[in-house]
Amino acid sequence: MLGIYEKDMLLETINSHLKISEILPQILQNLLTKYEFEKLIYANGPGSYMGIKISYISLQTLAIVKNIPLLAISAFELNDNQPIPANKQFCFVKDKNQQITLEKIQGGDFFMPKTLKNLNFSDDNTPFYVLEAVN
């Protein structure tokens, strides 16, 4: 899922069920012909290790080439802090103390926020895909 924002308001949403490695280059190529990006934002995790890695490398490369900032946001902000699928059986769950654990529970749905206002972005765009061992 990818969103285009203008003046912090959602302008366009792109959804695909293809693997990110298959679709992201095509999406970016099409968007680069339509828009001039001022900044890039990506969900740095938790989530699919490979999806986060490919997104980070692709968007960080584009940010360097275009000389624009790449910001990060927690994936939990894009699904109302619901569980995030980790694999077929487990989901990442954030508790009241902001600790993330793996639990056997159904994951929530992601969405593109209508506005970027009041979201918690970080200049530290390092991918978040390393979790402590879970007993």
Tell me phi and psi for residue 54, to 5 degrees. -65, -40
Q: What is the biggest distance separating any 2 CA atoms in the chain, rounded to whole angstroms?
A: 48
Mean pLDDT split into 10-residue runs, the chain, 135 residues: 96 95 95 96 93 96 98 96 90 91 92 96 89 51
CA distance 7 to 65: 23
Look at residue 104 in the predicted model and tell me its pLDDT. Answer: 94
Give the Cβ contact number of residue 45 at 10 Å.
26
Query: What local confidence, expressed as pLDDT, does residue 89 receive?
Result: 87
Give me the pLDDT at residue 23, please.
96
Closest C-alpha among 17, 18, 40 to residue 28 = 40
